[in-house]
Amino acid sequence: MNSKYLISVKSSGLCFNIMRLIILTDIAKKYNRILYFLTKPEHIPILEMFNSHCIYIPYIDSHTEQFNNFTRNKNIHALYDLKYLSFLKKEYLNNIFNSPSIKDFTFFSGNAYDAYNTDNKFLVIDYNDGSYDTEIINSIEIEPLAVNDNILAGISHDTITINIKINVPNSERIYRFWDEVIPRVKEQYKQPILLISGNNDILEYLSKKYECACRSVKTETNYSNIRGNDIIRGKPSEIFSDVIICSLTNFIPFTRLKRDYPDIISKYTDLNFVVEKVEKFDILVEYLAKYITIQGS
């Protein structure tokens, strides 16, 4: 066989993994390549909902600790990329493709606008963050995704949903920030509010104080190289449920909070999530709102 392959070798949080899969599925189709996708094992059942033909390769435990974009940015890229490709061949690709020559590989790091096809059999993509995530994902159309109607049990389509960001657990400044935002949202919209977060402590605090609904989730704790601290997140299945719920309700993305409440935002520019790029969760929710349907509707 003279098949050519597109191999995605970066794995991240679930939302960016879903976005990356949708984007690379589109690129693989354009380049007439078979898509292989390295990912965290627990993400595979969810990713298969968006591409059941892709070949998924579970990450080994030490992958992210050894090779990630944060580390790459602190090294000479050419040398780092060569070491990374050698690691990928040894740990994954040699067994799958019978030890191909490194000359058969083209490796690049970047987003869809950086991608290009080559004559090489293997196109290896370390698909990384860029400034065009919203633009790129919204240029791609996917098939409707039907979900079970019990996902919205007790939740109205008119319910306001907000993703409560907290990238430093127990940060007093973050609690103070949301203490200012939530009352303003209640005053402006005068609708039921459902708070979404991977941190149950802040959910319980805000829901009790401001009489908002919340959905307690099963969580996991992961270290963030960029933040330099542990972050509490919902488990993948919980995150995906939150994405679906927000896509089917009146979701307020953080960009709208920044637009509507600049007086509050200006006081909290020390919080990195306030000044950073758009959250992948928010991008994915707004994108999937066009495609998610209730089963049988």
Question: Same domain for 71 and 179?
Answer: no
Query: For position 219, what pLDDT does the model report?
Result: 75
Question: Same domain for 96 and 198?
Answer: no
Identify any residues that bridge with 163 across adjacent strands, giving them in sequence order: 196
**What's at 133, amino acid-wise?**
D
Query: For position 63, what pLDDT does the model report?
Result: 79
Give the end-to-end CA distance of the chain in Å, rounded to a whole number. Answer: 43
Structural domain total, the chain: 2
| Final residue in a domain of this structure, among 110, 142, 174 | 142
Q: How far is CA 126 from CA 1, 10, 11, 79, 129, in A?
A: 26, 5, 9, 15, 10
Query: For position 74, what pLDDT does the model report?
Result: 59
Domain of 47 in residue numbering reads as 5-142
Question: Same domain for 19 and 57?
Answer: yes
Question: Same domain for 87 and 134?
Answer: yes
| Final residue in a domain of this structure, among 120, 142, 164 | 142
Judging by beta carbons within 10 Å of its beta carbon (0-12, 13-18, 19+), is residue 250 exposed, middle or buried?
A: middle
Query: For position 188, what pLDDT does the model report?
Result: 96
Q: Averaged in consecutive runs of 10 residues, what is the pLDDT profile of the chain (297 residues)?
A: 88 91 97 96 96 95 72 69 89 94 91 93 88 92 90 89 89 96 96 94 96 87 61 84 95 96 96 90 96 79
Question: Same domain for 134 and 165?
Answer: no
Question: Same domain for 13 and 132?
Answer: yes
Question: Same domain for 153 and 289?
Answer: yes
Query: For position 234, what pLDDT does the model report?
Result: 79
Question: Same domain for 83 and 219?
Answer: no
Query: For position 226, what pLDDT does the model report?
Result: 55
Whole-number CA gyration radius for the chain: 20
Q: What percent of the chain is helix, strand and coil (3-state, nearest 5)?
A: 45, 20, 35
Query: For position 224, what pLDDT does the model report?
Result: 60
Task: Look at the pTM and tell me if it is higher than 0.75.
Answer: yes
Question: Same domain for 119 and 178?
Answer: no
Q: How far apart are CA 168 and CA 165, in angstroms?
A: 9
